[in-house]
Structure 1
């Protein structure tokens, strides 16, 4: 899990540095032009910077080794900090954008020099694009390793840092296009209404992204099972063992980013004997870990089936 944590850490660092630089540039351009959409984008990037700091904590905390008080590791602490990061996006980005946009729609503040805003939006799109492509590259590598579609992987992955960066960068790119459209429409019509509408739209976009991430982390915190495809593969490995007659019950639980616990009640053939049963359990444990690197804990309970 250390390699994946290091890769996610690099992805988060790139995104955090990009958001900090972009937030300052957007703030200056927004103050010069008097654009609510630009100030909303500045708040968006500032919230994303705070989010990346919290994700850094999430990656570092989840990577800590197991100890006596935490025998299954500290993986779930990563989900807690990642959910706090999503809440920061919800409150800091979405809340400011919607309220500031509504204020401009109702009061109609006058726009002035918008050239710096267009320059900053173009530069921000390039920087956010680089950050998004890095996260997308990591996603594709992991998808190839698991032999699944990248879109499916981003939906079921327990690597919350990677998922957060992907969602936030995608929302940032769309938000930049919305802000540019709002500025252009206001400039062409001479009305600040469209700039305010763009600000509200950016806020709603952030709201959707934040709620998705909050829901994802909440599910992981309340003992989410491994993906169905992985569970089916685990069951198949168990049934392939010659000493196994049946899998009475199979339970899985995500215990951290890229970490899964497997607990199964197994009906072994009576002919296996005590020594054969021990060897079979050891072999099943090894095969599960070889086939699924995410499997970190395996518990097998010999349980006879009523036949």
Structure 2
């Protein structure tokens, strides 16, 4: 599927970018002694590990249906994305706040400034590359659904691209904070800027992790599809002449871009049974040809 390929590409780009950035920031943190740069190193290490978790989720979610998993493995992606969000919180957020508090209590002199500045500028370019890739994928998917990018991120059934986009957005803000702290520390000789920037970076990551945890939690408990999509499915069912009414229609995500649709249709109780069986079969096939519908069950009720 093209959309799955786009998500995989986004995750791989983010993994490559964050891996290079983590190494560069680590070297710069040692050379400068900057707490903010150390916080950014932890941030990039967490991001790299999280991209690996996202990739694992992508691969595992594509396994074939089997008797023990009749609806497939799609929710594997939500589980691994949830682990990635927890990783952002613990490794990136909490560790950065701790390092910031330590820097405020035990300030250290600043070493060479310019290697840190050079690394942060290079990191911004690499993060921008990854951020742009994720943004392009989200914007394309949102345009196909006729939604704003923000609204699409709130209701999307695929958390991978959203996770990369929010991680990279936080990373760009974090780089700006670290660069500002490094320059202010060099100009004033006051290490408080490093500590404050590290704490702010940590709090930013905690906020991003909170948003991602909530979304993946919702998807893991079978969140309903967006109302416009449910309304569209209801129109498809109601357009059949033999359907008098649609008293119940449920559509829940069982994986990225995979809906389970369960419909009750009110029919004429005196109609021919053979014709009804054929009508139900045709309706079910039509639903299965709709984008996102992986499984459809139609139950006639008198």
Q: TM-score, normalised by structure 1?
A: 0.95
Q: Per the alignment, in what secondary structure is the counterpart of residue 301 of structure 1?
A: strand
Structural mapping, 1:72-111, within 5 Å: 72-111=71-110
Shift, 1:268, TM fit: 1.7
Map 1:276-287; keep pairs closer than 5 Å.
276-287=275-286
Shift of 1:140: 1.7
- Rounded Cα–Cα distance in structure 1 between residues aligned with 2:219 and 2:170: 23
In the alignment, the residues of structure 2 paired with residue 54 and residue 173 of structure 1 have an alpha-carbon distance, to the nearest angstrom, of 21
The DSSP-based 3-state class of the residue aligned with 2:244 is strand
What is the CA distance between 1:288 and its match in structure 2? 2.7
Q: Determine the structure 2 residue equivalent to 1:266.
A: 265
Equivalent residues of 1:248, 1:303 under 8 A apart: no
- Per-residue deviation at 1:285? 2.5
How far did 1:157 drift?
Answer: 0.5
Is 1:232 equivalent to 2:231 in the alignment?
A: yes
Instruction: Tell me the equivalent position of 1:48.
Output: 47
Q: Please name the residue that 1:159 is paired with.
A: 158
CA distance in 2, matches of 1:274, 1:117: 76
Match of 1:129 in 2: 128
**Residue of structure 2 in register with 1:302 after alignment:** 300
- Superposed counterparts of 1:240-259, under 5 Å: 240-259=239-258
Say whether 1:20 aligns with 2:13.
no
Count the aligned residue pairs.
302
62-71 or 2-11, which deviates more: 2-11
Distance 1:242 1:181 in 2: 66
Inter-partner Cα distance in structure 1 for 2:109 and 2:280:
73
Partners of 1:8 and 1:75 in 2: how far apart? 14
The CA distance in 2 between the partners of 1:169 and 1:264, in whole Å, is: 40
Q: Could you say what the CA RMSD is over the residues aligned between the two structures, in angstroms? A: 1.3
Q: Distance in 2 between the 1:230 and 1:281 partners?
A: 21
Give unpaired runs (5+ residues) of structure 1.
none
CA distance in 1, matches of 2:270, 2:229: 30
Question: Is the Cα contact below 8 Å between 1:97 and 1:199 reproduced in 2?
Answer: yes
Single out whichever of 82-91 and 269-278 deviates more from structure 2.
269-278
Instruction: Give, in whole Å, the separation in 1 of the partners of 2:283 and 2:150.
Output: 31
CA distance in 2, matches of 1:98, 1:130: 27
Query: How much does 1:101 deviate?
Result: 0.5
SS in 1 for 2:261: strand
SS at match of 1:147: coil
Q: CA deviation at 1:270?
A: 4.1
In 1: Cα distance, 2:261 partner to 2:59 partner: 24
Contact 1:5 1:63 in 2 (8 A): no
- Tell whether the 8 Å contact from 1:179 to 1:199 is kept in structure 2 after alignment: yes
Shift in Å, 1:286: 3.3
Deviates most, 265-274 or 148-157: 265-274
**1:196 aligned partner:** 195
Instruction: Name the CA distance, whole Å, in 1 between partners of 2:159 and 2:94.
Output: 23
What TM-score does the superposition give when structure 2 sets the normalisation length? 0.96
Name segments (4+ residues, structure 1) moved above 3 Å: 269-272
Residues 108-143 of structure 1: CA distance to partner in whole angstroms, max 9, x if unpaired? 211121111111111111111111111111112212
